[in-house]
């Protein structure tokens, strides 16, 4: 089986690394060849809106997937008429627009923070009347890892926030004073089989995931998360890995956003689960039985953003699993690698996490 992956970043690379032991073949598509994915499998280069080039890429592939949620849906739709594309372009279209995403959550009975579309300055004033400040003004499309956002702490800051993002479709979201952030990752196969990973607890810094600990032992929250993720999957007949990030407030999950792909908060599953999120995504889209998602112990993952520790220092930390994504250029806000520790107890894990944090400094 040959799997085509549109987008050859670190997520694509880790998909290929998980699939090679299963006897799967891979082909990547990205704008340039010198990418993390291009270092481990053949790559075709071209623009993401070049339909002819994408059609050539898809020839000979048994199934096509993506590692980046901003692939134009118009580029995937023609491919899907010839080769299965999973997750389906329909849900990708919803995930690419924050307003459509939040509206879907509401339709499915999934609680969210308050939100309102903002097309004009007057719309922002109405949203502030409804939800107050603080709040966050966001672009409806293309923003990720904290990009395309302006925080409004007081109403008098609304004008400057709107001007900083003007010219784009926007959404205003109520600020949530949450107690923690968690994510649920699940896989659904072509046959409809669903497998859930343990709930993960996440910490962000400047809008970018900084740390993940799993499993997060909150049974009531886990039941809510499974119910919400299952509702989304059933609505679309979803195939592949789906991730939903939640805020926790007063014992209730508020859906923040979803990602129809493998996710940074699931990197711990490579060493910390029986079958990783990457392997189960491939099993799901390839029509294979899903693997077990049980945790092997207590895991913690730290992201290396903007700079990397030396390989020697990282490997000197006992029990630490080191991942370098092979990116040639380091710059602020860029994810360059991660490290995971897996321990027999939460206490031992947290002690190892302290050592991992030292690498970040």
Q: Which pLDDT tens digit goes with each residue over 269-297?
A: 999 999 999 999 999 999 999 999 999 99
Residue 263: pLDDT above 70? yes
Question: Residue 267 has what DSSP assignment?
Answer: T
> Which one is predicted more confidently, 95 or 142?
95
Nearest CA among 23, 15, 97 for reference residue 64: 15
Judge whether 114-174 and 180-360 match in fold.
Answer: no
Residue 147 has pLDDT above 80, yes or no: no
Neighbours of 163 (CB within 10 A): 11
All residues at 6 or more sequence positions from 120 whose CB lies less than 8 Å from its CB, including other chains: none
Q: For residue 317, what pLDDT band results from cuts at 50, 70 and 90?
A: confident
Is 271 or 328 the better-scoring residue by pLDDT? Answer: 271
Return the structure tokens found at 346: 């939460």
Q: Do the bridges between strand 200-205 and strand 194-196 make them parallel or antiparallel, or are there none, so unpaired? A: unpaired
- pLDDT for res 279: 98
| Contact yes or no for 340/301 (Cβ under 8 A) | yes
Name the band, by pLDDT with cuts 50, 70 and 90, for residue 359: confident
User: Is the pLDDT at 142 greater than 80, yes or no?
Assistant: no
What percentage of residues in the chain have a pLDDT greater than 70? Answer: 99
Least confident of 29-33, 195-199, 244-248, 331-335: 331-335
Beta bridge partner(s), residue 136: 151, 173
Distance CA 98, CA 105 (A): 11
pLDDT at 202: 97
Average pLDDT over residues 28-52: 97
Domain boundaries, the chain: 2-85, 114-174, 180-360
* CA–CA separation, 49 and 135 (whole Å): 34
What is the CATH topology of the domain spanning 2-85?
Rossmann fold (3.40.50)
Question: Which pLDDT score, from 0 to 100, does residue 286 have?
Answer: 97
Give the per-residue pLDDT at 146.
Answer: 60
Give the mean model confidence (pLDDT) for residues 13-28: 98
Q: Which helix (H) or strand (E) holds 194?
A: strand 194-196
d(CA 266, CA 273): 10
Radius of gyration of the chain (CA): 20
Element (H, E) at 4: strand 2-6
Are β-strands 208-214 and 200-205 bridged in parallel, bridged antiparallel, or unpaired? antiparallel
Is there a contact between 213 and 200 (Cβ–Cβ < 8 Å)? yes
CA torsion sign for 92, 97, 100, 103 is positive
Question: Does 60 have pLDDT greater than 80?
Answer: yes
pLDDT band at 145 (very low <50, low <70, confident <90, very high): low
- For residue 167, the model assigns a pLDDT of 81
Q: What CATH architecture does domain 180-360 belong to?
A: 2-Layer Sandwich (3.30)
Q: What is the pLDDT of residue 156?
A: 87
Distances (CA, A) of 283 to 195, 227, 263, 286, 291: 11, 22, 16, 5, 8
In degrees and rounded to multiples of 5, residue 137 shows phi and psi of -95, 125
172: closest CA among 130, 136, 133? 136
Q: Parallel, antiparallel, or unpaired for β 43-45 and 170-174? A: unpaired
User: For 85, which DSSP code?
Assistant: B
Protein fold of 114-174: Dna Ligase; domain 1 (3.30.1490)
Q: How far apart are CA 191 and CA 189, in angstroms?
A: 5
Query: DSSP characters for 225-245?
Result: HHHHHHHHHHHHT--EEEEEE
The predicted structure's pLDDT at residue 149: 86
Q: How confident is the model at residue 304 (pLDDT cuts 50, 70, 90)?
A: very high
Confidence of residue 148 (pLDDT cuts 50, 70, 90): confident
| Residue 79, token pair as written in the block | 């491919």
Q: Give the tens place of pLDDT for each residue, 193-246.
A: 999 999 999 999 988 999 999 999 899 999 999 999 999 999 999 999 999 999
State yes or no: pLDDT of 143 exceeds 80.
no
Q: pTM of this prediction? A: 0.94
Split at pLDDT 50, 70, 90, the class of 350 is confident
Place of tokens 């390989």: 311
CB neighbours of residue 315 within 10 Å: 13
Phi-psi bin for 348: left (phi > 0), alpha (psi -120 to 50), beta? alpha
Q: Report in angstroms the alpha-carbon separations of 291 from 194, 219, 344.
A: 10, 22, 22
- What is the phi/psi pair of residue 258, to 5°? -125, 155
Virtual CA dihedral for 278, 280, 282, 288, nearest 10 degrees?
160
User: pLDDT band at residue 355, thresholds of 50, 70 and 90?
Assistant: confident
Cite the DSSP H helix spans in 42-88: 51-58, 73-80
């Amino acid at each position: 089986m040959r799997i085509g992956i549109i987008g050859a970043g670190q997520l694509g690379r880790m998909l290929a690394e998980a699939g090679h032991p299963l006897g799967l073949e891979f082909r990547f598509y990205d704008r340039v060849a010198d990418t993390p994915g291009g270092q481990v499998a053949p790559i075709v280069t071209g623009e993401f809106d070049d339909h002819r080039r994408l059609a050539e890429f898809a020839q000979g592939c048994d199934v096509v997937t993506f590692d980046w949620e901003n692939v134009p849906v118009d580029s995937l739709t023609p491919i899907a008429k010839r080769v299965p594309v999973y997750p389906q372009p329909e849900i990708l279209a919803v995930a690419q627009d924050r307003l459509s995403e939040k509206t879907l959550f509401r339709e499915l009975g999934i609680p969210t923070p308050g939100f309102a579309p903002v097309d004009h300055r007057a719309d922002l004033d109405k949203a502030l009347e409804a939800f107050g400040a603080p709040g966050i003004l966001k672009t409806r499309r293309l923003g990720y890892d904290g990009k395309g956002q302006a925080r409004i702490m007081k109403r008098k800051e609304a004008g400057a926030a709107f001007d900083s993002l003007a010219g784009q479709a926007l959404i205003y979201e109520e600020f949530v004073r949450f107690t923690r952030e968690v994510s649920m990752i699940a896989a659904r196969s072509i046959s409809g089989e669903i497998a859930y990973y343990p709930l993960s607890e996440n910490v962000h810094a400047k809008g970018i995931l900084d740390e993940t600990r799993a499993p997060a032992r909150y049974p009531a929250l886990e039941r809510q998360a499974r119910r919400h993720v299952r509702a989304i999957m059933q609505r679309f007949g979803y195939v592949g890995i789906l991730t939903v990030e939640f805020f926790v407030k007063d014992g209730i999950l508020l859906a923040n956003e979803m990602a129809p792909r493998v996710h940074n908060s699931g990197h711990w599953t490579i060493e910390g689960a029986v079958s990783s999120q990457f392997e189960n995504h491939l099993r799901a889209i390839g029509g294979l039985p899903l693997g077990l998602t049980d945790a092997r112990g207590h895991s913690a993952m730290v992201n290396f953003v903007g700079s990397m520790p030396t390989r020697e220092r990282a490997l000197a930390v006992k029990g630490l699993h080191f991942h370098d994504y092979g990116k040639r250029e380091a710059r602020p806000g860029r994810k360059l690698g991660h490290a995971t520790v897996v321990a027999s107890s939460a206490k031992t894990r947290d002690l190892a996490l302290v050592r991992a944090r030292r690498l970040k400094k």
